[in-house]
Amino acid sequence: MEFYLKASLKTSADPAAGKEEIEKIMAEAEKTIFAKGAPEGEGAKIKSWSLGDKSIDVELTSGRYVRVHDAVMRLKKALAESIGKTHKIGIRGVEAETFTITVPSEHDLKNKKIPYVKSVEFTDGNLVLELEVSETEMRNQVPDRILTLIEDKLEKDEYGAKAEHWNLLWESEDREFHYTEDPTEDMLKQGWLKRGAGRGQWIHGSVTTRLFRVFEQIVVEEILNPLGYDEMIFPKLVMWDIWKHSGHAKGIYPEIYYVCPPKTRDPEYWEDVMDYYKVTHEVPVEMLKDKIGDPIGGMCYAQCPPSWGFFQGETIATESLPILIFDRSGTSHRYESGGIHGIERVDEFHRIELVWLGTKEQVVETTKLLHERYAHIFNDIMDLKWRKAWVTPWFMAQEGLAGIAADEVTGTTDYEAPLPYRGPTGEWLEFQNVSINGDKYPTGFNVKSQSGEKLWSGCSGVGLERWTAAFLAQHGLDPEKWPPEIKKRFGKMPKQVKFL
């Protein structure tokens, strides 16, 4: 890897008067200011330099250490201190004439547009990126972030079609299923639910709503109460700042529902829109686009990130750890890819989100107990055929990253159930997950412990639509054929609305 920068340091006067001092700094730079923080001999190098009428022009090269944009800033400071003190010559700024980064690669970026990159060439096993950056971008480490972005893209390309790591951990015994219909279609026929007006949205009638409440009650009685979770209410409108700290701002854009506020509440400002509707009975969407502000964030996409605003910037007392909390206060929204289907792939869904925070040992122990409780529910209460697998951590997947976490503890376990109506070798539905997120969120939101010990966290989302889809796909819609505990909790079939 190589960085190359041809730059001009603009001076307030002809720098020739300070030539002697400049020559000394240039001669010693590689052993002094460019060597700091780099292994011996691996700092930035000066390829050439010259003096202009009101400029000091320089060519710099570097590898990974003391990269050229850092080197030129160090050079600017040293020159300003030297010739400014002795000759009253100031350095007014740095202009980058040519800035390239050469990265070894087996893959082309295929004309992908990258911020601040003017051009990309793929030649002789290298990507050559020409950057268009000012002193501000160089000072703010934009070239470093561009390189990180390029490396992420190359790693993703190298991973190829394997979008997600998957390793089977456990699977229950095979069984024969007596119900093989699509439960959503049956639910529609029996009037249990209707499609909502929005994409991937359902209106749940009294039957499916009661089944949701049964599963919710099971979670409360079998997990939340025994393990000591306390209920909180997390925001459902998530601002950009939260997603920046959580890391989601790196890759959620194709999947979130955006929220834009009106530019004003003044009725006169909106009069033309209201008048248009009164006349046409159509909502003038094009007119609305000009009257709403920029997106301030989006609707809840993953439930746990907004909870971290409660802890952000705080130091938590040792006696408060571990913290075990959950939220069930509203819907989540996600623009599903690959098409929507039934109640299992929807844009609007209902979840109970569990979050736990503590030392590494506390988080690992809490996760172990949670796995035990889920296994009990799926085996002994819901009587499901299921399996669990170690997969790409959910936060990595949502940031557009592939593979697995760096350690063997941090990561996500998916619970999957077969859908019999898809056939004997058909689709398995991911209906539950448990994640240990390591120190990602405590670090991202600057949360510390009283003892100074590093904090970890975990999360687990109980998707009521997914639980219902897996359960009904295997057991059907007749409550008399449901497992005894579910049948008992469900009780008498609720009264349904009849339409003429």
User: Residues with catalytic annotation?
Assistant: 304, 334, 336, 345, 353, 414, 430, 433, 459, 466
Which residue stretches of 29-99 are H helix?
68-87
Q: Which residues contact 221 (CB under 8 A, 6 or more apart)?
A: none
Spatial contact of 384 and 355, defined as CB atoms under 8 Å apart: no
Q: How far apart are CA 60 and CA 71, in angstroms?
A: 8
Q: How far apart are CA 344 and CA 169, in angstroms?
A: 23
Spatial contact of 420 and 271, defined as CB atoms under 8 Å apart: no
* SS3 state at 61: strand
Spatial contact of 334 and 301, defined as CB atoms under 8 Å apart: yes
365 φ/ψ angles, rounded to the nearest 5 degrees: -65, -40
Q: Indicate the DSSP class of residue 490.
A: H
Please identify which residue in the block is written with the tokens 């009294």.
Answer: 206
Q: How far apart are CA 463 and CA 218, in angstroms?
A: 13
Spatial contact of 202 and 194, defined as CB atoms under 8 Å apart: yes
CA 292 → CA 266, 334, 499, distances in Å? Answer: 13, 22, 40
Q: How far is CA 150 from the centre of its chain?
A: 18
Q: For the beta carbon of residue 225, count every other beta carbon within 10 angstroms.
A: 10
DSSP count for the chain of H helices, then E strands = 15, 22
Spatial contact of 117 and 130, defined as CB atoms under 8 Å apart: yes
Q: For the beta carbon of residue 337, count every other beta carbon within 10 angstroms.
A: 9
Measuring CA to CA, which residue among 374, 376, 445, 434 is closest to residue 409? Answer: 434
Measuring CA to CA, which residue among 296, 458, 249 is closest to residue 365? Answer: 458
Q: Which residues contact 498 (CB under 8 A, 6 or more apart)?
A: 191
Return the C-alpha torsion angle 156, 159, 160, 162, nearest 10: -110
Q: How far apart are CA 479 and CA 489, in angstroms?
A: 11
